[in-house]
Amino acid sequence: MSFLTIEKIKKSFNNETVLHHLNLSIKEGEFVTLLGPSGCGKSTLLRTIAGLIHPDEGTIHIDGKNVTEVKPKDRQVGMVFQSYALFPNMTVQENIEFGLKMKKLDKEIIKQNVARVIELVELTGKERSYPRELSGGQQQRVALARSLVTQPKVLLLDEPLSALDAQIRKNLQKQLRSIQQELNMTTILVTHDQEEAMAVSDYIYIMNKGHIAQSGSPHEIYTRPASEFVARFIGNYN
Ligand code: ADP
Ligand code: MG
């Protein structure tokens, strides 16, 4: 049973087609990665799912509902970008609460929900810190918490770890995967890092020039690359 379905999504910018009638299907609770070289259309596809970009053709369904024409804020998706985009003049607590401000929730409920995600991303004790007082990895965990606190149906991650040092990145990959599993959160990660994709994903879509070059489990893709492009991309990365 598919939880998120993308059918024949096409998108062009200035007469250049960036997404060529793509199809994708993701199960509830699955961790799916869009993997491919820079410029292949990963962010465009993710932003289309978020509703930040309107496709020229095709449809997007989330949880049985056609959301193709639905506004971003009504799609119940959470998004985390490479740059953390935290509010510098707000504390960790306030940054995370901000995501809930629009929802008109009871103050006590907001407090409980924020405390829960802070614990989940292991930032307990940092509630009153400001972003500048945190490491890059900690800031990115705040950004993740800010998304999770809204309890999205789908979590969209656009290279959230790419700016971090290798060791921190590896630790955060593990943490991200474990949080995702604990919440059974349907997640789509965009990355150009094949090792990262192999480490965290249930299923991988490899993209090349706006097409899906191959999809499969990490094991399938690693052991049976369907084309020279996939073999090179998987093999050559270091
Ligand atoms: P990726 O995330 O895989 O690096 P993108 O989705 O950002 O790739 O970009 C895919 C292609 O679409 C690139 O050639 C990029 O220049 C182009 N593109 C992306 N956004 C826009 C835009 N708003 N206007 C024009 N071209 C764009
Ligand atoms: Mg991108």
Q: What is the ipTM of this complex?
A: 0.98
Distance 104 CA to ligand 2 centre (A): 33
Closest-lying ligand 1 atom to the alpha carbon of residue 192: 3
Q: What is the pLDDT of residue 182?
A: 95
Q: Whose alpha carbon is nearest atom 5 of ligand 1? A: 41
Say which ligand is closest to the CA of 52.
1
Residue of 11, 13, 48 with the most ligand 1 atoms within 8 Å of its CB, for mutation: 13
Q: Report the pLDDT value the prediction gives residue 99, as an integer from 0 to 100.
A: 79
Query: What is the CA 213 to chain-centroid distance, rounded?
Result: 20
pLDDT at residue number 237: 43
Residues lining ion ligand 2 (Cβ < 5 A) are: 43
- Give the dihedral sign, CA 170/171/172/174: positive
Measure Cα distances from 92 to 114, 231, 236 in Å: 10, 42, 39
| Confidence at residue 83, expressed as pLDDT on a 0 to 100 scale | 83
- Which residues form ligand 1's pocket by a CB distance below 6 Å? 13-14, 18, 36, 38-44
| Dist. CA 50 → ligand 2 center (Å) | 14
Q: Give the pLDDT of the chain (238 residues) as one tens digit per residue.
A: 899 999 999 999 999 999 999 999 999 999 999 999 999 999 999 999 999 999 999 999 999 999 999 999 999 999 998 887 899 999 999 999 987 877 778 888 889 999 999 999 999 999 999 999 999 999 999 999 999 999 999 999 999 999 899 999 999 999 999 999 999 999 999 999 999 999 999 999 999 999 999 999 999 999 999 999 999 999 854 4
Which token pair is 86? 């935290």
Q: Could you tell me the pTM of the whole model?
A: 0.95
